[in-house]
Amino acid sequence: MDKKPAGLAICFEGFSTFACKPLLNIHDFAVASEFRKRGLAKRILEKVELAHTLGCCKIILEVLEGNKTAQIVYKSCGFARVRRTNGSRAFLAEKALTVPPRINYFLSNGANNP
């Protein structure tokens, strides 16, 4: 915003063995303090949700138990708490994605394969 770095989402693609489809993991997510409370986190997450165009079935992330602000943002964007991560102070949250039928047809017909 205003030509300054305001936020980031560092993501990588993984694979859901249960759904047999790719998923997207948000590894790091941040909004600079001077840009908070402007809806920027939600706008960044909307862009991350474009993962459905890659055929991703869901987005996953970890959030610390004490980070209530982040938990509120994630919940307002449709993420649900799944479970606590192996004895840590964090828990896993996820949001299911729906692949629009046109994109699903495109992906299932091998259009991405040379």
pLDDT of residue 114: 43
Rounded mean pLDDT, 44-54: 90
Rounded mean pLDDT, 76-88: 79
Q: Percentage of the chain with pLDDT > 70?
A: 81
pLDDT at residue 102 tops 70: no
pTM over 0.85: no
pLDDT band for position 6 (50/70/90)? Answer: very high
pLDDT at residue 88 tops 90: no
Using DSSP's 3-state secondary structure scheme, residue 108 falls into helix
The per-residue b/e assignment along 16-50, b for 16 or more CB within 10 angstroms, e otherwise, is eeeeebbbbbbeebebeeebeeeeebeebbeebbe
Q: What does the longest C-alpha to C-alpha distance in the chain come to? A: 46
Domains of the chain: 7-108 (3.40.630.30)
